[in-house]
Amino acid sequence: MTRIGDNRARLLALYTTMCRIRAFEETALAAHKAGEIPGPLHVSIGQEAVAAGICGNLRRDDRITSNHRGHGHALAKGAGVAGMMEELFGRAGGHCRGKGGSMHIADFSVGMLGANGVVAGGIPIAVGAAQGLKLMGSDAIVACFFGDGAINRGPFLEGLNWAALYRLPVLFVCEDNGVAAFTATASVTAGPGVAARAEALGVPTVSVDGNDAAAVDEAAARLVAEVRAGTGPRLLHATTYRITGHTSTDPAAWRDPAAVEAARAAEPILRLRARLLSEGVAGSTLDIIQGDALAEMAAARSSALAAPWPDPAVAWEDVQDIGAVAGEA
């Protein structure tokens, strides 16, 4: 893939996606604080470059699976903002009719197979989807997002093993923010980490600065092409930093304030902005992109607040094993 000539457009597209993710999550946090959203949110502020860089290299018919911190993945893959916001607000027009909330947003129309509250739960789903695509003779691929905490769960081993054995079209993406909820991941992880584990299973791995959107984009372009060509799974290890606490109710007092301050200075949107400015893009152009993103999300918040609640009669629809739930088993 040649980038000469279209490089600035690519960077601006990345910037736009990242600003939209940041604006969505900041708006959602404000709505949560105002009591408009039931249940906590897991936001990805500081990690936006990974979602934007990967999904910018995917086709609409490619699939993704996500984790509990999935707003950015869904948005970058093209999920509708109104449906996402309404889902957080528990309204009938949400992508999952208001039943899933923040941790379970799915939008099959754009290949977003679902966020997932179970750590590592998206990995077998991605592998199964990839096997289905391969059986159907499709050249679509699956990008599978998970955190560094997920590599200590069984589905990581099972999923990578199966994908490698059957040469399935999966790009595994480990967003390594150094913590699993509140715990330093290194303190609970044996051995050298995710890349070594993947390589041991024969899954080629690339490591990248996950706060450098252009670097993620470059790496993703190459890996997506390899996976699409049928060479089997690949893994991208993207190091990043989650600026906020674990959930919207966590003030993150456990964080080292100096580390947070350093992370704010090195956060991916500011970094890409600096690069675009240095390449001659006007600051006013970037301000407009940011302002548009904020306006889009503010409008989605107002609409979600005014949107109808689900009919209580549908509460038991979409529920597995309904007999047991209703006490009839």
By CB under 6 A, name the binding residues for ligand TPP: 67-69, 117-119, 147-150, 177, 179-181, 242, 246
- Min CB(219)–ligand TPP separation in Å: 20
Of 73 and 242, CB closest to ligand TPP: 242
- Min CB(91)–ligand TPP separation in Å: 25
Structure tokens at 195: 């890349």
Q: Could you give the angle at which helices 7-33 and 48-55 cross, rounded to 10 degrees?
A: 130
Strand ranges (DSSP E) for the chain? 63-65, 142-147, 170-176, 179-180, 183-184, 205-209, 234-239
* Residue 233 φ/ψ, nearest 5 degrees: -70, 155
- Min CB(64)–ligand TPP separation in Å: 16
Bridging pattern class, strands 179-180 and 183-184: antiparallel
User: Angle CA(262)–CA(266)–CA(267) in degrees, nearest 5?
Assistant: 115
Of 76 and 179, CB closest to ligand TPP: 179
Of 17 and 67, CB closest to ligand TPP: 67
Of 110 and 113, CB closest to ligand TPP: 113
Of 95 and 246, CB closest to ligand TPP: 246
Contact 269, 45 (CB under 8 A): no
Sheet holding 205-209, edge to edge: 63-65, 142-147, 170-176, 234-239, 205-209
Of 23 and 41, CB closest to ligand TPP: 41
Of 87 and 148, CB closest to ligand TPP: 148
Contact 91, 105 (CB under 8 A): no
H helices present in 201-327, as ranges: 213-228, 257-265, 268-278, 283-306, 322-325
- Min CB(288)–ligand TPP separation in Å: 31
- Min CB(37)–ligand TPP separation in Å: 18
Residue (of 78, 44, 54) closest to 238 by Cα position: 54
Structure tokens at 79: 């999920």
- Min CB(222)–ligand TPP separation in Å: 25
- Min CB(153)–ligand TPP separation in Å: 6
